[in-house]
Amino acid sequence: MAKFIIHRILSLIPTLLGVSVLVFFMIHLIPGDPAEMMLGERASEQSIKSLRQQLGLDQPLYVQYGRFVSRLLQGDLGRGLRTNEKISVEIAERLPATFELSLMAIFIATVIGMLAGITSATRQYSIFDYFSMVLSLAGVSMPIFWLGLVLMIIFSLNLGWLPLSGRLGYDIELEVITNFYVLDSIITYNWAAFKDALWHLILPAFTLSTIPMATISRITRSSMLEVLRQDYIRTAKAKGLSLLMVHYKHALRNALIPIITVIGLQFGILMGGAILTETIFAWPGIGLWILNGVYARDFNAVQGGTMLVASMFLTINMVVDIFYAWANPRIKVM
């Protein structure tokens, strides 16, 4: 097992190196000059040239890439071209918002997806089974930006039940300690802020949860159906155990390994794939920050943010692989 863990950790190095190459050179393919974006269209050629030299943008790409990798190895993501603030500081301010949103989204996806999958498996070929699978297919196929806009129109503009955007209402005061608004409101016993923060989470979190919800539902159904066909399940039924006991104590426990694996992978995807949701709902997280960096040609912000997201995704995948190998002795771990 120790050998497997070391192998998985070492395998992250070439993957992250490949990601750094792709991120660096693809961001430099974006049209536009960061120096000109910073100084404005009316800036003189001499001013733009001077700023390019100051930022090191006049050097060959391989020199800039070498400097970028050198900073990464030292744990330095550089400074934002727009704000001149350390990238690590800007990320620390925005990462909690993305983590909070992703955590709420995976919670919604897990609860609804598993319940739908279990019910579909135990009532195979019923109306609910067909309806659930159609909804799962729709959830995977439906564009997030379209769903987000539809939910905003229905629940915010027409019904007025939920907030339109942001993390907290303008009339709510909250002492920020960790930048996790729900946690901060609990720590400070600010229950008005706690309610408002949860209220602001519902629409974006549900929008973000639709694709993992559909995936978890289908995997749960498939895994449960495989377990329900096993001989020991028929034996448990023959002993007179209740269906509730058979389904949730015996079948679900043995079907959980692939489900937990998928949940972990989906959470990693959510952490890096919340850009559309954060943009639609003006959620001040990493995704929106990276997108604004692309618009401003802020190479350092985009490179640093993308590397962080890639690192988180690969780390979560590694943890899931290790857990899967530990939980399932049938897997040969090397």
For each of the chain's 334 residues, which pLDDT tens digit applies? Answer: 677 677 777 777 888 888 888 888 877 777 777 777 666 667 777 777 787 777 777 777 788 788 888 887 777 777 777 777 888 888 888 889 988 999 999 999 999 988 888 888 888 888 888 888 888 888 777 888 888 889 889 998 888 888 888 888 888 888 888 888 899 899 988 999 999 999 999 999 999 888 889 889 888 888 888 888 877 777 777 777 777 777 777 777 778 878 888 888 888 778 766 788 888 888 888 888 888 888 777 778 888 888 888 888 888 878 877 777 666 655 555 5
Q: Is residue 111 part of a domain?
A: yes
Q: Is residue 68 part of a domain?
A: yes
In angstroms, rounded to a whole number, what is the distance separating the alpha carbons of residues 28 and 315? Answer: 27
Do both 148 and 236 map to the same domain? Answer: yes
Do both 127 and 12 map to the same domain? Answer: no
Q: Is residue 66 part of a domain?
A: yes
- DSSP classification of residue 248: I
Nearest residue to 38 via CA among 77, 78, 84: 84
Look at residue 104 in the predicted model and tell me its pLDDT.
92
Considering 53, 73, 93, which residue would you say is the last residue of a domain? Answer: 73
In angstroms, rounded to a whole number, what is the distance separating the alpha carbons of residues 217 and 120? Answer: 9
Look at residue 302 in the predicted model and tell me its pLDDT.
83
Q: Is residue 183 part of a domain?
A: no
Backbone angles phi, psi at 244, to 5 degrees: -60, -45
Do both 44 and 105 map to the same domain? Answer: no
Considering 73, 93, 123, which residue would you say is the last residue of a domain? Answer: 73
Q: Output the CA–CA distances (angstroms, integers) from residue 236 to 70, 211, 253, 254, in the order listed.
A: 61, 35, 14, 14
Backbone angles phi, psi at 77, to 5 degrees: -90, 0
Nearest residue to 97 via CA among 310, 274, 317, 299: 274
Residue 132 structural domain:
101-161+204-327
Look at residue 313 in the predicted model and tell me its pLDDT.
80
Do both 125 and 215 map to the same domain? Answer: yes
Nearest residue to 21 via CA among 225, 306, 276, 237: 306
In angstroms, rounded to a whole number, what is the distance separating the alpha carbons of residues 196 and 172? Answer: 8
* Residue whose entry in the numeric block shows the structure tokens 């040609």: 297
Q: Is residue 117 part of a domain?
A: yes
Do both 6 and 153 map to the same domain? Answer: no
Could you give the number of structural domains in the chain? 2
Do both 136 and 259 map to the same domain? Answer: yes
Do both 50 and 136 map to the same domain? Answer: no
Do both 105 and 234 map to the same domain? Answer: yes
Look at residue 107 in the predicted model and tell me its pLDDT.
93
Task: Report the CATH number that the domain containing residue 231 is assigned in CATH.
Answer: 1.10.3720.10
Look at residue 7 in the predicted model and tell me its pLDDT.
74
Q: Is residue 269 part of a domain?
A: yes
Tally of CB atoms within 10 A around 238: 8
Nearest residue to 149 via CA among 158, 140, 137: 158
In angstroms, rounded to a whole number, what is the distance separating the alpha carbons of residues 123 and 233? Answer: 15
Do both 224 and 288 map to the same domain? Answer: yes
Q: Is residue 11 part of a domain?
A: yes
Q: Is residue 188 part of a domain?
A: no
Its pTM stands at 0.80
